[in-house]
Structure 1
Amino acid sequence: MEDQDQQDGGENPQHAAQSPQHAAQSALTLGAIPGATPDKWVSRWRERYPDFRLSVDYYDDAGQLARLQHGTADVGYVRLREGEPDLDKDQFSRVLLYREEPVVCAAQDHWIAAAEESVTWEEIAEEPFLEPAAMTPGQEPDPHEPLAGGELARAERIALEVVASGAGLLILPNSVARMLSRKDIVIRRVEDIPGYEVGLGWLKEKDSDLIQEFIGVARGRKPGSGRSAITPAATGAPKGSGKGSAKNTGAKSGTTSRTSQQKPRGKSSGPARSGRRPSSPKARRRR
């Protein structure tokens, strides 16, 4: 992610006027969804702010806004189809992370497999399509209960089994299709239809320094940024120090520690060398 601090447009007035309760928050829960890969952000957070616990729970797409409203997650991935109504701006804040292409999943022997990279909507519009929600009627998981990897996107997994039989096609976000990929399924990009917008959302009334700092990390904010509401100093370490700091490692100045320059002792695999450079025959004649 590129650093987008310059695009934030100044401090958020609502954020600046937080209550003491929000300022004192010491733990954060991220609600992830199928296809999301927050590992890099989580690693950065835990390295910079070990005193502020960050936990990640996975859920299906459906019910994400309800989880944010009920406090099941403090901040969460929100995937919306382009052109669909946005979040209620009176209740939620959202930052866009990336746009995702729609893909079609088909049986390996379907004619779509002959397409190298993509098909147009016009070419497949008359085909039968499957709706994942119809695959598991009345079997939706508890929206507030985290899911294990094998339980994620259960309806989509069942739909793909039907697709593999040749009974229909399935439109999915690219990351979800890749996560659920099977040898008997082909995946092709679909042109001329809306894609998906993926962002991070949170409840405005629960905005906090911790949420704002996590958003900054997700958008590429560097350690020690002047816009950081929480700094390594909050964990007992001075700003600019800590694990991975250039000042700690000498990476910024290009210096190397004396210990790392020492050669290992013991048997050498090559001929022994003295500390004096041998003289050439010409030099010996001059003597």
Structure 2
Amino acid sequence: MADVDLRKLRYFVAVAEQLHFGRAAEQLYIAQPVLSRQIRALEDELSVQLFVRDRRSTALTPAGEQLLADARPLLAGAQALRRRVLRAARRADTFTVGFMPGLIVTPPVRAMADRHPDLTLELVRTTWDDQTTAIHDGRVDVSFVRFPIDAQGLSVRPLHTEPRVVVVSADHRLAGKKTVDVADLADEHLLQVPDLVPEWRGVATELRIGRADVPVFHSVEEKLEHVAAGRGIVILPLSVMTFYTRPDIAYLTVRDIAPNQVSLAWGADRHSLLIEEFADLAAALGPPVTREALGARDR
């Protein structure tokens, strides 16, 4: 069988996700007839039919569904390969560190810069959604990550744990308390993926039967806006909450919830003296400093 053209795969994925040739063509900035010809050419190369089309709809065939499942990681891998090659071309003088919200990673970064004055240190802010993807696709050399993560293909060095707190609106019924139990939160709207808070999920399952699903928000800023508006609660690491302190929300310690694990991670296939050196610095210099700790130190 002939090699599959990655460009045709990108075109196929666009149509498969839109299930509409016109919208897919607009997304790809190409003419619809050109897109249709490319899809037909791909079907000829693979000797299968990928879509069933009529005047009203476009649907994937079983072969199309299988190709979509395989094409997404293949295209992501190709993009990651390109990024890694580009980074390799300039790796001799650049080292990039990823970090999650709430973590201030200045101490190890400055220590690394002091040791290697000719090395350019770059920083990339990551999120819950891409903290490991940024490692796999080559955007960062190492990254400070928060568990839980999929550690497959990664080398991970645990650094420290920190408490997690529940964040509520300033006028919430619990806002005046200093500590709560997970059971106190069972009937609340959780504005994040429940799997990230298994303790809450366990006590809330029965009480939430029949309740409407709540949209899940992914950025810290989005979550806090909805908390402040009284639309639900979030559970965050303490350093995140102290970093984003604002007057229209309050945060409380949750007594019976596991702390958050902060670790340093990098690709398991990366064997670099710079990575090992940075990992040693991150472990030796202790927990990343929070804004609250900086304020306390200055008083």
TM-score by length of 2: 0.54
Find the counterpart in structure 1 of residue 160 from structure 2: 98
Structure 2 counterpart of 1:47: 114
Deviations 1:81-122 (A, max 9, x none): 4xxx7612xx2111111112111111112121221x311111
Question: Helix, strand or coil for the counterpart of 1:37?
Answer: coil
Aligned position for 1:157: 221
Tell me, yes or no, if structure 1 residue 126 matches structure 2 residue 187.
yes
Distance 2:268 2:233 in 1: 39
Counterpart in 2 of 1:209? 273
Partner residue of 2:173?
111
- Superposed CA offset, 1:225-252 (max 9, x none): xxxxxxxxxxxxxxxxxxxxxxxxxxxx
- 1:113 counterpart SS class: coil
Instruction: State the match for 2:240 in structure 1.
Output: 176
Alignment of 1:79-90 (within 5 A): 79-81=146-148, 87-88=151-152
Q: 1:165 offset after TM fit, Å?
A: 2.2
Compute the displacement of 1:128 (Å): 2.3
For 1:185-204, list aligned pairs within 5 A: 185-204=249-268
Displacement after TM superposition at 1:163 (Å): 1.5
What residue in structure 1 maps to residue 130 of structure 2?
A: 63
Using a 3 Å threshold, how does the CA distance of structure 1 residues 202 and 104 change in structure 2: closer, same or farther? same
SS of residue in 2 equivalent to 1:189: strand
Kept after mapping to 2: 8 A contact 1:105/1:188: yes
* Mapped contact 2:126–2:134 kept (Cα < 8 A): no
Unaligned runs of 5+ in 2: 1-87, 194-213, 286-299
Structure 1: 5+ residue stretches without partners: 1-20, 137-152, 222-287
Structure 1 residues 129 and 108 mapped into 2: Cα distance closer, same or farther (>3 Å)?
A: same
Contact 1:25-1:210 within 8 A present in 2 as well: no
Alignment of 1:206-245 (within 5 A): 206-220=270-284
SS of the residue corresponding to residue 223 of structure 2 reads helix
What amino acid maps onto 1:104 in structure 2?
Answer: V
**What is the identity percentage for the equivalent residue pairs of Structure 1 and Structure 2?**
31
Give the counterpart letter for 1:40 in structure 2. P
Given the two structures, how large is their TM-score scaled by the length of structure 1?
Answer: 0.56
Shift of residue 61, structure 1, vs aligned partner: 2.7
* Larger-Rg structure: 1
Structure 2 residue matching 1:43: 3-state secondary structure? helix
Q: Is the 8 A contact 1:101 1:174 kept in 2?
A: yes
CA RMSD, aligned part only?
A: 2.4
Which structure is higher in helix share? 2
Q: Which has the higher contact order (CA 8 A, sep 6+)?
A: 1
Partner Cα separation in structure 2 for residue 61 and residue 167 of structure 1: 21
Q: Which residue pairs with 2:45 in the alignment?
A: none
Equivalent residues, number: 177
Structure 2 counterpart of 1:74:
141
Residue aligned with 1:64, SS: coil
- Separation (CA, whole Å) in 2 of partners of 1:161 and 1:219: 34
**CA deviation vs aligned residue, 1:168-188 (integer Å, no higher than 9, x gap):** 211112122222221010011
Looking at structure 1, the residues matched to 222 and 134 of structure 2 have their Cα atoms a distance apart, in angstroms, of 25
